[in-house]
């Protein structure tokens, strides 16, 4: 038998070699773990995604837009009770450890061994931040080691208060709420700084299992969890026995409606979101916590929604001429004449079930509501309100794709020669088509595009009758040019955007472009005022305010419109069915759309000045016979005053 003998030197060398091998293995393992760890320096420019809030011009909250419902706040705004409650339940040694709590680790290991599974974690708040921001939630030993390493790095680079503030704003707290401020709004509908002790304890109990302990999902479990947090706070000395008893006796009082807050002016908000995405990008809209101020007037929006709802009720109550027809829908848009800002927008009767925006997106035939574009173009070419047009049967050879075309008047009656003013006021079709022939369809199309109408227009004679399809928004914006002294401004809904620090990052800068002379715009406006006082829109005269506008009706009563304006605002109304079926018998623009317009404008004009439309010094107002267009004797019955350029007034 051999005996192994080792000298002291040999033992020392062997032990040293073993130690080196162990250290090398540990070092290699550590290197492997740290090689693919994220760089925590990225946190220095990090700010958690936050809620973007959209407001009306008068500071009414319209909508909250977010990827994650989060409202970051400073640590100083968070109640001391909430901080104490969270530290008591999540990390009692937070201000004493260096990222990992050894006592907590040992305690969790013992419980997990007894349970035979991962019954309890030992993650500190710092480790939770590391996991949330950098790692996956999968429970593995490798992930836990990486989590610990990142926690040490975080503690070396950032202060405890910085880490705690990040945690309080980042953590998910159930029911779609991220961060304590969003949770305060979600569960109690109040700012985080206004939470009482019982409410603080409830929120502090959520991180353990947010969905399970949400008071909106499981109120009994939430109450039990809240009471446990309160008891732990009492036992650790965070609160007194008296405060504990008082909070314990407080009933659970969360908001009863668990649905997300409804969006006001939903059609407008959707249009604004599209505008914002173009201005600040999708990430800016959904993650940056912007404050968006729009052009919308909450009062006018309420009036618009009410007018559309009331106006559609009798139309939908009437029997439809076609079985299975879609319901009668309506749309309304109101623009600020001075700025071009959208003051109110209704895209339909019910955004939830029918979100299609019929004010800004839907293209429909405007019918005779397109005629003012033609007549304004004629005025630019030198026609006056007294220029004569023949209202008599006519056939245009080859005008309809090579076939003969015989236009008809709405009432199928003819009145002979009449001035432009009367032809527009009474919405006569044949005089309008004759005028289109004189002015030239190509010239009208070019002028319409300059007015801001971007929809495709075919340069043919039928365009005089509004056969092209365009949006209510672009048509209303075109009318606003007449009231704006000949200047076009593209409609817009976003006035200003601020970042979460209150800095302005985007501001609307509407640009005016001269489309027609001030004088021609005033003459066109005067003719459209005749529609209200002498023609198809005369029922709007009940408003006793300077108004101008035009009705529109398409074949078989498929579309009904009224677009008009005062010196301060322009508004357009469309009524029809989405499936293009007729609205109903005699559903003209005057009978289906104009009542909605009047109802809305009655509220919109309340309290506004009654100053008249613009009348440049180069124009003169003379008395004429509305039937012949000739100068009228001051004593003549039925004579009307009309605007003309000086030197172009009609003869007696």
Mark whether 228 and 346 lie in a shared domain: no
Q: What is the pLDDT of residues 237-249, one digit of tens each?
A: 999 999 999 999 9
Residue 254 lies in a domain: no
The answer to whether residue 34 scores a pLDDT higher than 70 is no
Mark whether 218 and 328 lie in a shared domain: no
Residues of the chain with pLDDT > 90: what percent?
66
Residue 169 lies in a domain: yes
Mark whether 446 and 519 lie in a shared domain: yes
* Token pair belonging to 285: 């809209």
Mark whether 431 and 578 lie in a shared domain: yes
Structure-token match 């979101």, residue found: 273
Q: What is the pLDDT of residues 415-447, one digit of tens each?
A: 999 999 999 999 999 999 999 999 999 999 999
Residue 438 lies in a domain: yes
Residue 19 lies in a domain: no
Q: What is the pLDDT of residues 472-501, one digit of tens each?
A: 999 999 999 999 999 999 999 999 999 988
| Candidate from 403-412, 458-467, 534-543 with smallest mean pLDDT | 403-412
**Average pLDDT of the residues in 378-403:** 91
At 293, is the pLDDT very low, low, confident or very high (cuts 50, 70, 90)?
Answer: very high
| Residue 646, burial from CB neighbour count under 10 angstroms (0-12, 13-18, 19+) | exposed
**Average pLDDT of the residues in 23-27:** 42
* Token pair belonging to 182: 């969003």
User: Highest-confidence range of 145-154, 285-294, 315-324, by mean pLDDT?
Assistant: 285-294
Distances, alpha carbon 633 to alpha carbons 417, 624, 650, 652, in Å: 20, 8, 13, 8
**Average pLDDT of the residues in 265-278:** 92
Mark whether 225 and 364 lie in a shared domain: no
The answer to whether residue 64 scores a pLDDT higher than 80 is yes
Domain that holds residue 149: 69-248
**Average pLDDT of the residues in 631-642:** 91
CATH number for the domain spanning 216: value is 1.10.3810.10
State the chain's mean pLDDT as an integer: 88
Q: Are strands 548-553 and 559-565 parallel, antiparallel or unpaired?
A: antiparallel
Q: Rounded to the nearest 5°, which phi and psi values hold at 144?
A: -65, -40
Mark whether 486 and 589 lie in a shared domain: yes
Residue 640 lies in a domain: yes
**Average pLDDT of the residues in 314-319:** 88
Mark whether 213 and 335 lie in a shared domain: no
Question: In whole angstroms, what is the distance from residue 11 CA to residue 195 CA?
Answer: 67
Instruction: State how many domains the chain has.
Output: 2
pTM of the complete model: 0.79
What is residue 22's predicted lDDT score, i.e. its pLDDT? 39
At 18, is the pLDDT very low, low, confident or very high (cuts 50, 70, 90)?
Answer: very low
> Which one, of 303, 310, 306, 312, lies nearest residue 592 by Cα?
312
Number of Cβ atoms within 10 Å of the Cβ of 53: 17
Mark whether 529 and 444 lie in a shared domain: yes
What is residue 384's predicted lDDT score, i.e. its pLDDT? 97
CATH number for the domain spanning 567: value is 3.40.710.10
Q: Which residues are catalytic?
A: 90, 368
Mark whether 171 and 309 lie in a shared domain: no
Residue 321 lies in a domain: yes
Mark whether 224 and 356 lie in a shared domain: no
Structural domain ending residue among the three candidates 231, 248, 265 = 248
Mark whether 242 and 320 lie in a shared domain: no
Mark whether 231 and 364 lie in a shared domain: no
Q: What is the pLDDT of residues 199-237, one digit of tens each?
A: 999 999 999 899 899 998 899 999 999 999 999 999 999
Structural domain ending residue among the three candidates 248, 269, 284 = 248
- Mapping DSSP to helix (H, G, I), strand (E, B) and coil, where does residue 523 land? helix
What is residue 284's predicted lDDT score, i.e. its pLDDT? 86
- The answer to whether the beta carbons of residues 132 and 171 sit under 8 Å apart is yes
The answer to whether residue 96 scores a pLDDT higher than 50 is yes
Structural domain ending residue among the three candidates 208, 230, 248 = 248
Residue 474 lies in a domain: yes
Distances, alpha carbon 346 to alpha carbons 300, 362, 447, 573, in Å: 11, 12, 28, 9
User: Highest-confidence range of 322-331, 501-510, 560-569, by mean pLDDT?
Assistant: 560-569
- The answer to whether the beta carbons of residues 66 and 51 sit under 8 Å apart is yes
Residue 34 lies in a domain: no
Q: Rounded to the nearest 5°, which phi and psi values hold at 70?
A: -140, 140
Q: Which residues pair with 134 in a beta bridge?
A: none
């Amino acid at each position: 038998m051999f005996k192994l003998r080792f000298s002291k030197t040999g033992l020392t060398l062997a032990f040293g070699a073993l130690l080196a091998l162990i250290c090398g293995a540990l070092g290699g393992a550590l290197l492997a773990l740290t090689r693919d760890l994220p760089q925590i320096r990225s946190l220095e420019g990090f700010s958690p995604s936050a809620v973007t809030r959209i407001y009306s011009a008068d500071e009414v909250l319209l909508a909250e837009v977010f990827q994650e419902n989060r409202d970051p706040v400073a640590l100083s705004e968070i109640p001391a009770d909430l901080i104490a409650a969270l530290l008591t339940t999540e990390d009692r040694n937070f201000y004493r450890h260096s990222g990992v709590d050894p006592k907590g680790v040992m305690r969790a290991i013992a419980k997990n061994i007894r349970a035979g599974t991962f019954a309890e974690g030992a993650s500190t708040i710092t480790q939770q931040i590391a996991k949330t921001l950098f790692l996956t939630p999968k429970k593995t030993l490798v992930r836990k080691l990486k989590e610990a390493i990142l926690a040490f790095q975080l503690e070396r680079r950032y202060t405890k208060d910085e880490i705690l503030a990040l945690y309080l704003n980042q953590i998910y707290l159930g029911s779609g709420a991220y961060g304590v401020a969003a949770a305060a709004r979600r569960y109690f509908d109040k700012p985080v700084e206004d939470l009482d002790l019982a409410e603080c304890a409830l929120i502090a109990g959520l991180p353990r299992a947010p969905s399970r302990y949400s008071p909106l999902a499981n109120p009994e479990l939430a109450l039990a969890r809240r009471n446990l947090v309160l008891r732990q706070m009492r036992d650790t000395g965070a609160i007194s026995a008296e405060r504990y008893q008082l909070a314990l006796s407080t009933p659970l009082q969360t908001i009863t409606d668990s649905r997300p807050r409804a969006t006001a002016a939903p059609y407008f908000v959707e249009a604004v979101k599209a505008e914002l995405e173009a201005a600040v990008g999708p990430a800016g809209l959904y993650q940056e916590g912007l404050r968006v101020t729009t052009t919308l007037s909450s009062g006018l929006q309420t009036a618009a929604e009410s007018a559309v709802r009331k106006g559609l009720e009798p139309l939908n109550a009437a029997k439809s001429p076609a079985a299975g027809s879609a319901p009668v829908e309506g749309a309304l848009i109101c623009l600020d004449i001075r700025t071009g800002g959208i003051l109110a927008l209704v895209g339909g009767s019910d955004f939830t079930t029918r979100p299609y925006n019929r004010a800004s997106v839907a293209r429909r035939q405007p019918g005779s509501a397109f005629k003012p574009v033609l007549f304004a173009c004629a005025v630019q070419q030198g026609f006056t309100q007294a220029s004569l047009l023949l209202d008599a049967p006519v056939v245009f050879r080859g005008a309809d794709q090579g076939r003969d075309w015989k236009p008809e008047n709405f009432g199928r009656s003819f009145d002979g020669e009449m001035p432009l003013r009367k032809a527009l006021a009474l919405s006569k079709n044949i005089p309008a088509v004759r005028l289109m022939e004189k002015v030239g369809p190509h010239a009208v199309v070019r002028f319409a595009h300059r007015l801001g109408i971007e929809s495709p227009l075919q340069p043919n004679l039928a365009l005089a009758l509004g056969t092209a399809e365009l949006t209510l928004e672009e048509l209303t914006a075109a009318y606003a040019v007449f009231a704006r002294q000949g200047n076009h401004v593209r409609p817009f809904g976003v006035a200003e955007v601020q970042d979460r620090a209150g800095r302005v990052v985007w501001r609307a800068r509407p640009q005016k472009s001269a489309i027609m002379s001030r004088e021609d715009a005033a003459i066109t406006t005067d003719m459209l005022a005749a529609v209200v006082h002498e023609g198809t829109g005369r029922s709007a005269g009940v408003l006793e305010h300077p108004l101008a506008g035009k009705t529109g009706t398409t074949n078989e009563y498929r579309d009904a419109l009224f677009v008009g304006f005062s010196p301060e605002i322009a508004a357009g109304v469309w009524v029809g069915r989405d499936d293009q079926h007729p609205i109903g018998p005699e559903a003209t623009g005057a009978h289906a759309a104009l009542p909605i317009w009047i109802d809305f404008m009655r509220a919109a004009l309340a309290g506004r000045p009654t100053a008249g439309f613009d009348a440049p010094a180069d124009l003169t107002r003379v008395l004429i016979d509305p039937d012949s267009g000739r100068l009228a004797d001051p004593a003549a019955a039925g004579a009307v005053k009309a605007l003309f350029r000086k030197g172009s007034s009609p003869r007696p």
